[in-house]
Amino acid sequence: MEAFCILDALNAALLAAAEGWEGFEPELRLADPRFGDFQANGVLPFAKKLGKNPRALATQLLQQAQEALRGLGIEGELSGPGFLNFTLQPELLERWLTAYASAEAFVAGAATLYPGRTIVVDYSSPNTAKEMHVGHIRSTVIGESLARLLRLCGAKVITDNHIGDWGTQFGILILEIKRQHWDLDAPHPDPLAALETLYRDGQARVKEDPQAAAQARQELVLLQQGDPQNFKIWTQVKQISYAAFEAIYRRLDVHFDHVLGESFYRDKVDAVYEQLQSLGIAQESEGALVVFHPEHPRFAKTPFMIRKSDGASNYASTDLATLCYRTKILGAQEILYVVDVRQQDHFEQLFLTANKWFNSMGKTLPVLCHIGFGTILGADGKAIKTRSGGTVKLKALLDEAEQRAYAAVTQKNPQLSEEDRRHIARVVGVGAVRYADLSQNRSSDYIFDWDKLLAFEGNTAPYLLYAVARLHGILRHAPLESPSAAAPLETPHELALAKKLLNSVTALKQSLMELRPHFLCQYLYELSGTFNAFYAVDKVLTSDPPTQAKRVALCRQTLNTLTLGLETLGMETLLQM
């Protein structure tokens, strides 16, 4: 069967041709379309290292690879001081398109890109007793898309929502619930919002009243000791909170294999303290238990606190216990933490501590990666807020997205039924919010703009969803099976679309290797543009059966690729808009 990743096949051919060139890497990448499809830049630095003429070395490599290139269906050409440009021939494009024409074949090919790794993806992680706000959208959709991407590429993925459901805040909340005699069993239109208000009231009270602060600490101690009343209140708060979270996750089509919050590890942190002390990694300092990292320039004077001076656990405590659990019980070989970039120092110290811990035990530490992301900004360039200056609730944001999308679809297609317009509005509205986030480089802040994210032009969800709906419309009028053999690829737009389809593999690999979904978003946008250019010039449904068969096949594969790409990003598609 044709190689799924042509770039890998080309790379292997060049390495085989360069046998004996110790340390040589072709450094393949996509080329400027004016000069070819792929470019190899590795000869120049290799020639410089050896003190040889790069153009002569590149000529030698091209000659030695010629037979393998012909077998692949790739033409190589020398350019400039030692660059190599490669052009995919039509017969290679046709073989590849035939081999991966079905969605099933493509998925099977994608599963070969990163097989066999067990990867835990930690994302979303809201705090109980608080509504999810706009800041949670980034961790949630980035984490979900990475989990889907890794699964598509063959990894065994375990998703975990490490919710904040334990700690000091519960002493304050339990005290306020008791003080106001709030009945957690009574029906309430928005119980989580009410709990958040209770917590704010309690927080203000303990700041003003030392006696109330002492009472809150005592309520927390009772909870930690298993007091039946406090434990019942805590359990009900957790249930109310997660029911509200789950409603958001259903709207976003987000799913977790585990929801193991901080409370799950409350009986596991003591073993961590004991082991780190016995290994000489942690020590007492001013009553707290800390780990020093004198070898690190930024943390030499800032120890990593893993237990507070009052004996209470903290994020570091539970994160270390969580890491141990994920390694021993879940079998994690890699762990991705999809958390705000502002937590970079915490994770850097966590990883340093974990490395010392596992090395001291003679165990292999999983690959640990902090998937940091920036902040969503308002038009003023500051963190997005409501008009009153409060935090934007995620539920309200999704509601507004659907309302705006409903107004737009009603204006464009008033003849559609109410049910159809509501369905389209839900898919477009939620998809637009999600895609606006994923299409950004996750490390960067970005400005949230309703007009931009709901526009039908540019790199937006509506633009891509419309391309999918248009393809469905074309294929509704096409025969299910071709009555004759397809003609060869011939026109410039046919060839351009075929090459762009083949480059879906490169987009997947780049997104996978850098763990950045925006590369996949950019590819889907470019594919839609290439398809639109093809459709504007090359008529699909023609009187010539072989030509029609070829172009219908290109449309089907474009539809499959767009649909799978959007599903990997967590987005639903539409048959019509």
Residues 186, 204: Cα–Cα separation, whole Å: 25
Does some domain include residue 96? Answer: no
Same domain, 440 and 535: yes
Q: Give the CATH number, domain containing residue 55.
A: 3.30.1360.70
Query: Would you tell me how many other CB atoms lie within 10 Å of the CB of residue 18?
Result: 20
Render pLDDT for 72-117 as a digit per residue (tens, 0 to 9): 999 999 998 999 999 999 999 999 999 999 999 999 999 999 999 9
Verify that 522 and 415 share a domain, yes or no: yes
In this prediction, residues 19-35 reach a mean pLDDT of: 92
DSSP-assigned states of every residue in 252-314: HT---SB---GGGGTTTHHHHHHHHHHTTS-EEETTEEEE--TTSTTTTTS-EEEE-TTS---
Rg (CA), the chain: 28
Q: What is the mean predicted confidence (pLDDT) over 397-426? A: 94
For residues 408 and 432, the answer to whether their CB atoms sit within 8 Å is no
Q: Is residue 292 part of a domain?
A: no
| Predicted local confidence at residue 230, as pLDDT | 95
For residues 279-307, average pLDDT: 92
Instruction: Say whether pLDDT at 483 is over 60.
Output: no
Instruction: Tell me the average pLDDT across 481-504.
Output: 89
pLDDT in tens, 216-238: 989 988 998 899 999 999 999 99
Final residue belonging to a domain, choices 252, 273, 299? 252
- Residues 47, 175, single domain; the answer is no
SS3 367: strand
List strands edge to edge, sheet with 304-307: 283-285, 288-291, 304-307
Which CATH number belongs to the domain containing residue 545 in this structure?
A: 1.10.730.10
In a domain, 338, yes or no: no
Residue range 408-417: mean pLDDT, rounded: 92
Q: What share of the chain in percent tops pLDDT 90? A: 86
Q: Is 56 a member of any domain?
A: yes
- Please determine, for residue 282, whether its predicted confidence score (pLDDT) is greater than 60: yes
Res 38: pLDDT: 95
Asked which of 231, 252, 273 is the last residue of a domain, the reply is 252
Residue ending a domain, among 237, 252, 267, is 252
Give me the pLDDT at residue 447, please. 93
Q: Under a CB-based contact definition with an 8 Å cutoff, are residues 501 and 557 in contact?
A: yes
Nearest-angstrom CA–CA distance, 14 and 26 = 7
Q: Are 415 and 551 in a shared domain?
A: yes
Residue 32 backbone phi and psi in degrees, to 5: -60, 125
Q: Which of 203, 185, 182 is nearest to 194 (CA)?
A: 182
| Spatial distance between the Cα atoms of 151 and 497, rounded to a whole number of angstroms | 27
What's the angle, vertex CA 388, arms to CA 383 and CA 393, rounded to 5?
A: 60
Same domain, 530 and 401: yes
Strand order in the sheet with 28-30: 28-30, 38-40, 83-88, 74-79
- pLDDT one-digit tens code per residue, 147-205: 999 999 999 999 999 999 988 889 999 999 999 999 988 888 899 999 999 999 999 99
Total domains in the fold of the chain: 3
pLDDT band at 482 (very low <50, low <70, confident <90, very high): low
Q: Are 148 and 343 in contact (CB under 8 A)?
A: no
- Res 2 pLDDT > 70: yes
pLDDT at 313 over 90: no
Tell me if 511 sits within 8 A of 519, measured CB to CB.
Answer: yes
Judgement on whether residues 36 and 174 belong to the same structural domain of the protein = no
Instruction: Mark whether 535 and 416 lie in a shared domain.
Output: yes
Instruction: Please check whether residue 375 lies inside any domain of the structure.
Output: no
Residue 453 shares a structural domain with residue 555: yes
Look over the chain and give the mean of its residue pLDDT values, rounded to a whole number: 94
Query: Are 437 and 551 part of one and the same domain?
Result: yes
pLDDT digits (tens, 9 = 90+) for 434-464: 999 999 999 999 999 999 999 999 999 999 9
On whether residue 126 sits in a domain, the answer given is no
Query: Which domain covers residue 477, as residue numbers?
Result: 394-568
